[in-house]
């Protein structure tokens, strides 16, 4: 399953401006193939059928290089990582070189035997994505029938096999009213952690923004529900909530800071500071097929472009939060202001902030248009 990277690193680290440390985490998008078609998918809009995926050997080399570079944890994601027949071989190499391994999956293709094998190899953690607790609504969101029942079964196997389980949910106008029910469900299936990630508008989510955006009141109510549950469930369930940018006053540290602790590798080997950065003018993305990971991390144009604070303009440049949120999200700044160096419009100090929130509120009060479901081959001409 594919969500924004912000859910993987939500806490700012301790690195000071422009200092480059070894990365902590690597998101491995093993494939863009996926049986689900969620309208908020963070995979690119123009996923093409012909894109050549890294081979088993190439991913194994990536794992070895990542461990040498200092990466501690890897997130095996997609698309749906379980559609790769060589998942076991890739995982084995990661385990052999000492990486902490997290499988991010929709679970719908998993069989118990396969999960047992992954656990035997040394898988450390599973993040299972849910669209909703209501089967009909979950089907509507993902355009996939029978998902909830299957996921419940997979959650049970994960617990029986002794692995820690996180329940991932992307929150939007079609499931936000079920925030309390989703939290109860997480407790019921034995998850130790829940990620409630309010939609971030890139890729397919941006295309479907009007169909996804909740009202400000719905957002506040959902946050209230999760805050109360967080108190009530201390010691039972850990909460990781990514706020809705349009209704926030401060931005999130997108990617935990650009080129600071986390990076992404796409199915065809592009190594990127974030999943959505290809549209940034002038960015040069390197491929792990041609360049060693360490060279890309320390020296490449893409990773240096917005690393640290020296690229910042005012108001970020002199703001005392500049090493906390690192100026927010570059891709959102570009999408909304036309300038990737601008302050993220989620920040109340951005001159675009009011308009950004107002547009969201107006959209949220209109009836939801139909979803344009995510699919290989790009957005259909007529939806
Ligand atoms: Fe963050 Fe920049 Fe806003 Fe300061 S001005 S809070 S650094 S986005
Ligand atoms: Fe935030 Fe690209 S999505 S920096």
Helix 112-121 and helix 147-160: axis angle, to 10°?
40
Atom of ligand 2 nearest to the CA of 5: 3
Say if ligand 1 is within 6 A of residue 347 CB: yes
CA-angle at 205, arms to 336 and 180, nearest 5°: 115
Say if ligand 1 is within 6 A of residue 341 CB: no
Bridge-partner residues for 101, per DSSP? 74
The strand pair at 262-265 and 25-29 is best described as parallel
Q: Which protein residue's CA is at the shortest distance from atom 2 of ligand 2?
A: 331
Q: What is the pTM of this model?
A: 0.91
Q: How many angstroms does the Cα of residue 254 sit away from the middle of ligand 1?
A: 12
Ligand lying closest to the C-alpha of residue 273: 2
Q: Which protein residue's CA is at the shortest distance from atom 5 of ligand 1?
A: 316
Q: How many angstroms does the Cα of residue 111 sit away from the middle of ligand 1?
A: 46
Closest CA to 204 of 212, 192, 196: 212
Query: Can you give the chain as a three-state secondary structure string?
Result: CCCCHHHCCCCCCCCCCCCCCCCCEEEEECCCCCCCCCCCCCCCCCCCCCCCCCCHHHHHHHHHHHHHHCCCEEEEECCCHHHCCCHHHHHHHHHHCCCEEEEEECCCCCCHHHHHHHHHHCCCEEEEEECCCCHHHHHHHHCCCCHHHHHHHHHHHHHHCCCCEEEEEEECCCCHHHHHHHHHHHHHCCCCEEEEEECCCCHHHHHCHHHHCCCHHHHHHHHHHHHHHHHHCCCCCEEEEECCHHHCCCCCCHHHCCCCCEEEECCCCEEECCCCHHHCCCCCCEECCCCCHHHHHHHCHHHHCCCCCCCCCCCHHHCCCCCCCCCCCHHHHHHHHCCCCCCCCCCCCCCCHHHHHHHHHHHHHCCCCCCCCCCCCCCCCCC
Say if ligand 1 is within 6 A of residue 343 CB: yes
Atom of ligand 1 nearest to the CA of 320: 4
Closest CA to 152 of 171, 173, 138, 170: 138
Closest CA to 264 of 249, 285, 243: 285
State which of 7, 201, 329, 341 you would mutate to test the pocket of ligand 2, scoring each by most atoms of that ligand within 8 A of its C-beta. Answer: 329
**Distances from the Cα of 69 to the Cαs of 33, 144, 189, 200, 297, in angstroms?**
28, 39, 36, 30, 9
**Distances from the Cα of 168 to the Cαs of 25, 128, 129, 261, 360, in angstroms?**
18, 6, 4, 21, 24
Say if ligand 1 is within 6 A of residue 325 CB: yes
**Positive or negative torsion for Cα 179, 184, 188, 193:** positive
Q: Which residues line ligand 2 (CB under 6 A)?
A: 202, 254-255, 274, 276-277, 329-331
pLDDT in tens, the chain (383 residues): 444 444 444 333 334 445 688 999 999 999 999 998 888 888 888 876 666 999 999 999 999 999 999 999 999 998 999 999 999 999 999 999 999 999 999 999 999 999 999 999 999 999 999 999 999 999 999 888 988 999 999 999 999 999 999 999 999 999 999 999 999 999 999 999 999 999 988 888 888 999 999 999 999 999 999 999 999 999 999 999 999 999 999 999 999 999 999 999 999 999 999 999 999 999 999 999 999 999 999 999 999 999 999 999 999 999 999 999 999 999 999 999 999 999 999 999 999 999 999 999 999 999 999 888 888 766 766 44
Q: How far is residue 360's CA from residue 66's CA, in Å, rounded to a whole number?
A: 39
Q: How far is residue 224's CA from residue 4's CA, in Å, rounded to a whole number?
A: 23
State which of 332, 341, 342, 347 you would mutate to test the pocket of ligand 2, scoring each by most atoms of that ligand within 8 A of its C-beta. Answer: 332
State which of 17, 243, 248, 250 you would mutate to test the pocket of ligand 1, scoring each by most atoms of that ligand within 8 A of its C-beta. Answer: 250
Q: How far is residue 109's CA from residue 245's CA, in Å, rounded to a whole number?
A: 33
Say if ligand 1 is within 6 A of residue 39 CB: no
Q: How many angstroms does the Cα of residue 127 sit away from the middle of ligand 2?
A: 22
Q: Which protein residue's CA is at the shortest distance from atom 1 of ligand 1?
A: 327
Ligand lying closest to the C-alpha of residue 5: 2
47 φ, ψ (degrees, to nearest 5)? -60, 125
Atom of ligand 1 nearest to the CA of 322: 7
Do 41 and 2 meet the contact criterion of CB atoms below 8 Å apart?
yes
Ligand lying closest to the C-alpha of residue 311: 1
260 φ, ψ (degrees, to nearest 5)? -110, -40
Q: How many angstroms does the Cα of residue 319 sit away from the middle of ligand 1?
A: 6
């Amino acid at each position: 399953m594919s969500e924004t990277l912000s859910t993987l690193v939500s806490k700012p680290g301790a690195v000071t401006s422009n200092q480059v440390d070894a990365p902590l985490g690597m998101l491995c998008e093993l494939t863009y193939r996926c049986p689900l078609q969620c309208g908020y998918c963070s995979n690119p809009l123009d996923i093409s059928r012909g894109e050549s995926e890294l081979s088993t050997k190439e991913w194994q080399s990536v794992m070895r290089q990542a461990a040498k570079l200092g990466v501690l944890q890897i997130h095996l994601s997609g698309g749906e990582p379980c559609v790769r027949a060589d998942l076991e071989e890739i995982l084995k190499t990661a385990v052999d070189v000492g990486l902490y391994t997290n499988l991010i999956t929709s679970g719908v293709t998993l069989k118990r035997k396969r999960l047992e094998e992954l656990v035997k190899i040394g898988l450390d953690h599973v993040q299972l994505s849910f669209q909703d607790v209501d089967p009909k609504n979950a089907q509507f969101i993902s355009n996939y029938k029978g998902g909830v029942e299957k996921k419940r079964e997979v959650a049970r196997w994960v617990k029986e096999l002794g692995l820690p389980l996180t329940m991932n949910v992307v929150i939007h106008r079609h499931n936000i009213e079920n925030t309390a029910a989703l939290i109860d469900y997480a407790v019921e299936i034995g998850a130790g952690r829940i990620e409630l990630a309010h939609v971030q508008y890139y890729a397919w989510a941006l295309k479907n923004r009007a169909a996804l955006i909740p009202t400000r009141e719905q957002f506040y109510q959902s946050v209230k529900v999760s805050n109360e549950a967080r108190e009530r469930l201390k010691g039972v369930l850990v909460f990781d909530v990514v706020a809705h940018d349009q209704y926030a006053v401060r931005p999130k540290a997108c990617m935990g800071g650009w080129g600071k602790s986390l990076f992404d590798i796409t199915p065809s080997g592009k190594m990127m500071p974030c999943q959505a950065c290809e549209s940034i003018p002038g960015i040069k993305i390197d491929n792990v097929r041609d360049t060693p990971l360490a060279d890309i991390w320390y020296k490449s144009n893409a990773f240096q472009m917005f690393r640290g604070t020296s690229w910042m303009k005012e108001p970020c440049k002199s703001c005392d939060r500049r090493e906390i949120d690192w100026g927010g999200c570059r891709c959102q700044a570009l999408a909304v202001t036309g300038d990737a160096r601008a302050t993220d419009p989620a920040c109340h100090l951005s001159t675009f902030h009011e308009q950004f929130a107002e547009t969201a509120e107006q959209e949220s009060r209109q009836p939801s248009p139909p979803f344009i479901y995510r699919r290989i081959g790009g957005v259909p001409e007529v939806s």
